[in-house]
Amino acid sequence: MVIEQNIVVSLHYRLTVSDVLGELVEETFGSEPLVFLYGAGQMIPEFERQLTGKASGDQFSFGIKSEEAYGAHDPNAVVQLPLSTFEVDGEVDQEMLKIGTIIPMSDDQGNRLNGMVKEVSSEGVMLDFNHPMAGTDLYFTGTVESLRAATPTEVEHGHVHGPGGHNH
């Protein structure tokens, strides 16, 4: 069995910035593996493409340019909002407005967005709505641990059920 459409993939990986020697972002070795349904749109498309055809036990190593991952950093996604936006019962929650805090918000059409607090001043709060990894080239190394055919229910729901997946 190889990685292809509707296969449940379990793998361990190490993600670094730019190349194999780059800054460590995250890794699953020593913890639970990443488990996902291949082809269900849960993963970065280029990540899946690089894994296509791999078998259980295969190792992998590949880079993904920022444009094919989380996109380039968009300066238009960094905006200043008035302090009044963050008032609750007439008070600004200063604890929420610490640099680096992620604030869930929605735009005027109801789309959910996460903004990272970049700066707070008397003029307002500067939020960055780019994905935290936007503008960053990614590099993955790892091992395919196991593969299995997805159940019809998993295919219908678009995600894995049981260990490493949803339990519903």
Residue 108 belongs to domain with CATH number = 2.40.10.330
Report if residue 1 sits inside a domain.
no
What whole-number distance in Å separates Cα of residue 140 and Cα of residue 62? 5
Q: Which of 19-28, 85-94, 106-115 has the highest mean pLDDT?
A: 19-28
User: Do 140 and 123 sit in the same domain of this protein?
Assistant: no
What does the pLDDT read at residue 26?
96
Q: Mean per-residue pLDDT for 44-71?
A: 97
- Cβ-contact 50, 64 below 8 angstroms: yes
Report if residue 30 sits inside a domain.
yes
What does the pLDDT read at residue 94?
82
What whole-number distance in Å separates Cα of residue 119 and Cα of residue 101? 10
Give the DSSP H or E segment for 154: helix 152-157
Is 109 or 53 the better-scoring residue by pLDDT? 53
Residue 125 neighbours by CB distance under 10 Å? 21
Range of the domain at 103: 75-128
What does the pLDDT read at residue 167?
58
